[in-house]
Structure 1
Amino acid sequence: MPTLHSADPQQLRSWLFASASQDALAFRSLYDATAPKLFGFALRILRKRELAEEALQDSFVTIWHAAGSYQSHLAAPMTWMSTIVRNKALDILRRLDEAVEIDASQFDGEVMQAMQDQDAKPDDALQLSDEARSLARCLAMLEARQRQAIGMAFFHELSHSEVAQQLTLPAGTVKTWIRRGLEKLKTCLAHRERP
């Protein structure tokens, strides 16, 4: 069974591209290699095992159907898949009407560090900081398209024009969404920091 230790980004890309052609065996290999880390990531955000399992399942359904849209020049496979997991987890939080807060740079750093830590176990994910949970809650309160634009700009480090191209929208629209989304995040985080 492949593991994240043995699956380099090129191997993950290969499985993703094969999955786009409905290769169930490649998809199973992709799942086996990445599910433990992605589950830990979902658990960091949701803090409940059953919700993390739901997010992971929904994410892999999306990965199976969206594998053909994966663009390797924009993001590493784990980055692309973890973005899907994050969005599914935040959707679950929104559905549950749970408020979410986050310091974006700290959250991104902690999440990426956890994703790269080969020895981290899913239970280690429960140690996520209060600030990261706060950012997750505030991100979940954004409109889906705002969250997507911000995610592409900050998680994938795309310029505003690159985000606009990916979303097939005018650059001015994307800039406005990102600016307004960041203002909402700032306001949300400021309210949560008050005693």
Structure 2
Amino acid sequence: MPETPGDFDYEAALAACAAGDRLAMRRLYEHEGPRMLGVALRIVRQRALAEDIVHDACVNIWSRATSYEPARGSARGWIYSVVRHLALNAVRNARRHVDIDEETTHTLEADMSVQAFHDAAASFELNASLGRLQHCLEALEPARRNCVLHAYVEGCSHGEIAERLGAPLGTVKAWIRRSLTSLRECMA
């Protein structure tokens, strides 16, 4: 004759699970499995998903049995809270999932292909521009090139550049201004 919920010692079953007793987990599943499935099924309304939830709940109960604290509630309530949490998470995750039809899928794939082409073209253009920029930078005198690189690559202020190069501040500002003009002309 099957045990009723009042006859089954849930706390002892959880304690045995926490101690690694596989038979205790089996007894718990045999005793509560159908009711756990019913709870999950009422929440997710899909039998296959509810069965997966009960499986995951049993794994969680087995692995987290040591975290059960009798002072915080009944062992049976703890078991069902695991099932409810998993089922509610499944419902929330399903709401985030959006099913799309085949036509929309093809449209999205085509858009992604076009975007990939544009990204590749932009990357090619950037590489070409960087090649021109490198050529133009190499055409500058080394002191002027260093001023531009310190300012625009390293983010140094004009005062910091003057200090690094041991040059007057006004000279550094003039070198940067003239170098930028030369770079614009070279890149055009």
Query: With structure 2 as the length reference, what TM-score do the two structures score?
Result: 0.48
Greater Rg, structure 1 or structure 2? Answer: 2
Q: Which has the larger share of helix?
A: 2
Query: With structure 1 as the length reference, what TM-score do the two structures score?
Result: 0.46
Pick 1 or 2: higher relative contact order, CA cutoff 8 A, min separation 6.
Answer: 1
